[in-house]
Amino acid sequence: MRMNIIPLPAFRDNYIWLIHDERHAVVVDPGDASPVLDYLSAHDLTLSAIMVTHHHADHIGGLAALLQTYPVPVYGPASEHIAGVSNPLSDGDSVSLPGLGLTFSVLDVAAHTAGHIAYHAPGVLFCGDTLFSAGCGRLFEGTPEQLEKALSRLAALDGDTRVYCTHEYTLSNLAFARVADPDNPERDRYAAHCETLRAHGRPTLPSTIALEKDINPFLRTNTPSVLKAIAHHTGKTPESALECLRELRAWKDVF
């Protein structure tokens, strides 16, 4: 069976991920129904399920309109009250997608929001706003301790796991990474690649876990280059990876 995962651009920089074969489709974090409905119609596909990672409007805003046309199962975090979610999920649950033959494991990655979840299948990760290419999500409801736990969990996945996050933030994240992790030639090569992609109107995503461990300062909190940059920024060398992560996140918030 041929499986496709494509990004549907929405708003200024969101991606709604659409998984499909020749007949069936599943969407992840549909903040807007219009691009989803347009794609389904243009490609003669039937929506069979919706997965959401957290409650922010740019990830769930299209649910009501999609459900009017396609009354399908909606999977989402059990600890966040999201109208339209029919199948609430917690850490360790699994999602078998109707028609596509895919099964995802549910990971608790609370940090960006209090109940944020991610969906993982071999080689594939839909992580919402927890991990971005070269960055991570803001702590709107969670703590640095939760963020460290979430990022560590994602970093432990197989290196070839493709990372489907939901914002095209890569170039802006890389601008911060150049300052927060200055001595990183692998990051510089990746930045040149991403700049070329964006110049041609192409997404920088998906990334991979292995790549993120090489270029993402939020996954490199024990490396000398990052520790030195934090010390230069704050006047104090972090005493732990958690302290480094906390300072990185605070720095990025005002960068």
For residues 140 and 114, give the distance between their C-alpha atoms in angstroms, rounded to a whole number.
8
User: Annotated catalytic residue: which of 20, 55, 59, 116?
Assistant: 59
For residues 207 and 161, give the distance between their C-alpha atoms in angstroms, rounded to a whole number.
8
User: Annotated catalytic residue: which of 56, 108, 120, 181?
Assistant: 56
Tokens 């199948």 sit on residue: 87
Catalytic status, residue 58: yes
Token pair recorded at residue 236: 């104090």
Catalytic status, residue 232: no
User: Annotated catalytic residue: which of 20, 29, 32, 54?
Assistant: 54
User: Annotated catalytic residue: which of 32, 58, 108, 181?
Assistant: 58
Which helix H or strand E contains 192, and what residues bound it?
Answer: helix 185-199
User: Which residues lie across from 18 on neighbouring strands?
Assistant: 6, 27
Token pair recorded at residue 162: 């493709």
User: Annotated catalytic residue: which of 20, 55, 112, 120?
Assistant: 112
Quickly count helices (H) and strands (E) in the chain. Answer: 9, 14
For residues 109 and 155, give the distance between their C-alpha atoms in angstroms, rounded to a whole number.
12
Task: Report the alpha-carbon angle 124-63-35, nearest 5.
Answer: 70
Token pair recorded at residue 8: 């549907």
Q: Tell me which residue of 59, 49, 65 sits closest to 11, measured CA to CA.
A: 59
- Tell me the residue length of the chain: 255
User: Annotated catalytic residue: which of 108, 116, 167, 181?
Assistant: 167
Catalytic status, residue 24: no
Catalytically active residues, by annotation: 54, 56, 58-59, 112, 129, 167
